[in-house]
Homo-oligomer: A and B are copies of this chain.
Amino acid sequence: MPPLDLSLAQKVLDSQPFSVLLQARITAFGDGQAVLEVDVRDELLQQNGYLHGGVLAYAADNSITFAAGTALGPAVLTSGFSVQYVRPATGRRLVARAAVVHAGRRQAVARCDLFTVDADGGETLCAVAQGTVLSAQQS
């Protein structure tokens, strides 16, 4: 497979039916970083009108995987991650910005900041995550 660029990364995302269901898109990809965005809509909420934690967890997981993919190549396998929610998530759009903090030959560690963006473009941090991604080449 060729190295990924933003256009190919979006194609990979579009080949994930669950990402299509959530209508996720990748808006930046490269140099150890990936940004994944999801528009807030009713069917992604929990019972109090906030974005469901599961949507944030999805965005953390997937943006960390894609960020690691910029370093490890397209064949990767997310080993696990931790997420801490810091505020109820409300706004127009969820933006998950992931960045690799270290990449070796076999694995990469990445962090993710999750923001919601309001109608005026103001951003509010709603969760932070960190995770480990393995290269699937060797398995």
Contacts and interface: CB of A to CB of B under 8 A. Distances in A.
> Secondary structure at chain A's binding surface: helix, strand, loop or mixed?
mixed
Contacts of A87: 102
A109 B83 CA distance: 11
Interface of A: 12, 15-22, 42-47, 52-55, 57-62, 65, 77-87, 101-102, 104-107, 109, 111, 113, 125, 127-132, 134, 138-139
19 contacts: A12-B47, A16-B45, A16-B47, A16-B52, A17-B42, A18-B54, A18-B55, A19-B54, A21-B21, A53-B65, A53-B78, A57-B83, A79-B107, A80-B109, A80-B132, A84-B132, A86-B101, A101-B128, A130-B130
